[in-house]
Amino acid sequence: MFHQESYARHSEWYNLHFPGRVEKLNYYKQKKDAGRSTVASWLQQLFFDCLDPLLSREDSWLTVGDAYGFDAEYIIAKGSKALATDLSTDFLAVAKQQGIIQDFAAENAERLSFAGNQFDYVLSKESYHHFPRPYAAMYEMVRVARKGVVIIEPQDPVSKMPSLLFLTNMLASRTSLLNRAWKNRFSYEPVGNFVYKVSEREFEKFAAGLGLAMVAFKHINPNFYSAGTENMPAEDGNLRFLWI
């Protein structure tokens, strides 16, 4: 079935680009050498800042789709406990050896092996849109989280762009025209997954259906990444950074 094929492709994706331990070590070395003052790090910090109000030393976190372990690394640096997980643990094993994370496990977010309420929080940062069955993953994350689930994802533009919604409604019966006007209506990433963008209303209905206490939203705009930002300095004298 498609979701099984998707799991297999995702579990091997990083090994295609970083085949051995040496390549993985070099990746971590490059990230370390680049430091924390690059534009790429600045953009990542926009994501991580969203977690700060929830982080405390008493709480435990599960990170899903945390291929490199960087999500767990941030949480641990703030004093909380974190278990990093991904479909493949080849990178995470190296991350633990390098002291980036404390522990890791191979986990499928759509079929977690943990007991109910085993963690205080679950973090899915930029991984939810990769899941072939995202609702299955959402139910699983809610099941194992005692306090809450944090999803950091791109938003479905239709839900916040009236002009795009108007265009969609007007061309609903003319699919070919709609697809030409809205070229990334159905987006797919190189690994083969459909990019499952989310909406606030979608999460509201999910929470209401399960009788959850509340949902909260925070809007950020980190959509400035390109390959060049990995080593671009995030400083006032850099005109390219100021333009961002």
- Residue 181, pLDDT score: 66
Residue 243 predicted with pLDDT over 70: no
Q: If pLDDT is split at 50, 70 and 90, which confidence band does 107 have? A: very high
- Residue 94, pLDDT score: 98
146 lies in the same domain as 170: no
21 lies in the same domain as 112: yes
Residue 185 or 70, more confident: 70
- Residue 223, pLDDT score: 72
SS3 state of residue 63: strand
97 falls within a domain: yes
- 72-81, 86-95, 142-151, 235-244: lowest mean pLDDT where? 235-244
- Residue 96, pLDDT score: 98
Q: If pLDDT is split at 50, 70 and 90, which confidence band does 241 have? A: low
What is the DSSP track for 74-140?
HHHHTT-EEEEEES--HHHHHHHHTTS-S-EEE-BTTB--SPTT-EEEEEEES-GGG-SSHHHHHHH
- Which CATH number goes with the domain that contains 29? 3.40.50.150
176 lies in the same domain as 207: no
8 falls within a domain: yes
64 lies in the same domain as 167: no
Phi, psi of 161 (to 5 degrees): -125, 95
Number of folded domains in the chain? Answer: 2
226 falls within a domain: yes
153-158 mean pLDDT: 83
44 lies in the same domain as 123: yes
152 lies in the same domain as 163: no
- Residue 7, pLDDT score: 85
189 falls within a domain: no
- Structural domain range at position 172: 157-184
Q: What is the pTM of this model?
A: 0.89
108-135 mean pLDDT: 97
- 41-50, 101-110, 220-229: lowest mean pLDDT where? 220-229
Residue 240 predicted with pLDDT over 70: no
**166-214 pLDDT per residue, tens:** 767 777 777 777 677 667 777 888 888 888 889 999 999 999 999 999 9
150 lies in the same domain as 164: no
- Residue 71, pLDDT score: 98
92 lies in the same domain as 6: yes
190 falls within a domain: no
20 lies in the same domain as 73: yes
- Residue 39, pLDDT score: 84
105 lies in the same domain as 223: yes
- Residue 214, pLDDT score: 95
143 falls within a domain: yes
Across all residues in the chain, what is the average pLDDT? 89
Place of tokens 């990230």: 31
If phi > 0 it is left, if psi is from -120 to 50 it is alpha, else beta; for residue 112 that is beta
Integer Cα distance of 225 and 84 in angstroms = 24
216 lies in the same domain as 109: yes
100 falls within a domain: yes
191 falls within a domain: no
88 lies in the same domain as 14: yes
- Residue 103, pLDDT score: 98
